[in-house]
Amino acid sequence: MNSPNEPTPGPGPAAPPPGCPAHAAGADGLRRLYGPEADADPMALYEKLRAEHGAVAPVLVHGDLPAWLVLGHRENLEVARTSTLFSRDSRRWRDMAEGNVPPDHPLTPMTAWQPLCVFADGPEHERLRRAVTDSLSRFEARGIRRYVTRFSHQLVDDFAAAGRADLVDQFAAQLPLRVVTQLFGMPEDYGPRLVDAARDMLGGTETAVASNDYLTETLQQLVERKRATPGHDVASKLIEHPARLSDDEVREHLRVVLVSANEPTVNLIAGTLRLVLTDRRFRANLAGGHMTLPDALEQVLWDDPPMTTNLGRWATGDIELAGKRIKEGDLLILGLAAGNADPAIRPDTSASLHGNRSHLAFSGGPHECPGQDLGRAIADTGIDVLLSRLPDLRLAVPEEELTWNASLMSRPLAALPVRFTPGRLRSAKGSPAPEQAAGAELPPQRSVPSPPALADAPSRTAPGASTSRRPFRRLRWRR
């Protein structure tokens, strides 16, 4: 098959009537990874592409730019693991070099090259990535879970007395960044505002630029403070690392960790809670001890990975992949969700996969997600606290009324409204963890102009919770 960049010979077909499925395809007949068909049911689209093209399919991304979607599990790993053939350096993208990806293109924020580990290969990638992974590895799981436990209780306290909540907006979307800001060595009250700023920036709203400026300035101030007063936190460890990162490199890699650790973990928490609330067998297996919560998370990572695709890789030369002729400069998109459902490795998608971590949820190869264990710890502990605090949690709307937001790389749940018996707040006991106390003693933050949405946001004054770590036990929430 030809490269998707090659034009289809001959005159194009007549325009299809409104409502016709042909609107999901471009002028050359290639299917789009954006628009109504992709937004409505991306997994169904992936299976259509698999049936039509096999393990690698030519597709169109925003602006009808050509790309290849990798659908096979083996082929995804081949692309992810072979950076000499499939590079992360977006400067190789032919369409970008030819001016077909303008600054306001939807993919520009994710593909515009920067001197970061996510856009590097070889020795430079190893230098930058090692600084990140070494800095993250300095924190024990016990300490991380202590943060998660405290913030989970605080978030539940915010809505426990109401008897109802949206677990996406009020829990899943709040928890990961609150934990990450603590690992960065920021005072605790930074968490809620950074959550709002990051969500606003990623949502592409009218105040997204202001939110991005707020994040940049806040992280720059953090780097300056940690240069002067280092502590036991990710920012200080990045500064001290033998890789000798510049202040700009430290700031931007903190941003990479902050943003990349957030959305996948938010989606993992929301997806797991949705399954608990809508699948009786799944919930019964958890409540009865037939499945542990870590097992449940792995099942969700197989069936509903938090990121559906990973953008992107660029061919370093002409090559054949699964019978398709890939040309130098072609864009390849890793189909993480499609690869997890590949019939070649999962002929029966209903079969249990307990203990099997060979899914593609965190990609693979040298660019495999470095924060996956952090994400698992946040999701595992946070869900445990939530279900223990609210044992009669139940969906507040019919399952068919749940909706999802669509994008090229993920399909996050829009809301998860629930009801439960109103409960009492936990009393504020214990003292701050040592790292929190150190963060609170940092020099005061300079004034940072806040995005409009942030300036008007009400302050959160939820009471604190104990930081003691509860031993793992069988979960006892009600079915």
**What is the biggest distance separating any 2 CA atoms in the chain, rounded to whole angstroms?**
74
Predicted local distance difference test score (pLDDT) of residue 204: 56
- 22-31, 164-173, 377-386: which has the minimum mean pLDDT? 22-31
Report the C-alpha gap between 25 and 41 in whole angstroms.
15
Give 20 or 401, the one with higher predicted confidence.
401
Q: Which helix (H) or strand (E) holds 313?
A: strand 309-315
**Rounded mean pLDDT, 18-32:** 64
Unique residue bearing structure tokens 């879970």: 145
Bigger pLDDT: 294 or 474?
Answer: 294
Out of 85-99, 187-201, 310-324, 419-433, pick the least confident.
419-433
Q: What integer pLDDT is reported at residue 206 of this predicted model?
A: 67
DSSP state, 390?
A: -
Provide the mean pLDDT of the chain: 84
pLDDT of 444 > 60? The answer is: no
For the chain, domains (ranges, CATH) are: 1-113+309-360 (3.30.43.20), 130-307+363-455 (1.10.630.10)
Contact assessment for residue 313 and residue 79, using Cβ atoms and an 8 Å cutoff? yes
Among the listed residues 189, 199, 180, the one whose alpha carbon sits nearest the alpha carbon of residue 254: 180
Distance CA(415)–CA(284), nearest Å, equals: 23
Angstrom distance (rounded) from CA 136 to CA 234: 6
Q: What is the mean pLDDT of residues 412-423?
A: 95
Rg (CA), the chain: 23
Residue 63 near residue 105 (C-beta atoms within 8 A): yes
Lowest mean pLDDT among 22-36, 196-210, 333-347, 351-365: 196-210
Which residues are within 8 A (CB) of 278 and not within 5 positions of it... i.e. 6 or more apart?
Answer: 395, 399
Q: Could you give phi then psi for residue 437, rounded to 5 degrees?
A: -60, -40
Compute CA distances 262 → 98, 320, 337, whole Å: 33, 35, 19
Q: Please name which of 167, 175, 153 lies closest in space to residue 395, comparing C-alpha atoms.
A: 167
Report the run of H or E that residue 321 belongs to, with start and end: strand 319-321
The reported pLDDT for the residue numbered 5 is 52
Cβ neighbours of residue 384 under 8 Å, at least 6 residues apart? 293, 475
Is the four-CA dihedral 101, 106, 109, 111 of positive or negative sign? negative
Contact present, 448 and 214 (Cβ < 8 Å) = yes
Cα-based distances in Å from 415 to 155, 169, 271, 404:
16, 7, 11, 8
The dihedral built from the CA positions of residue 173, 43, 370 and 282, taken in this order, carries a sign that is: positive
Distance separating alpha carbons of residues 368 and 388, to the nearest angstrom? 32
Residue found by looking up tokens 């990479």 in the block: 256
pLDDT at 122 over 70: yes
Is 416:277 a contact under the CB 8 Å cutoff?
Answer: yes
Residues 404, 413 contacting (CB under 8 angstroms) = yes
Given a cut of 60, whether residue 435 has pLDDT beyond it is: no
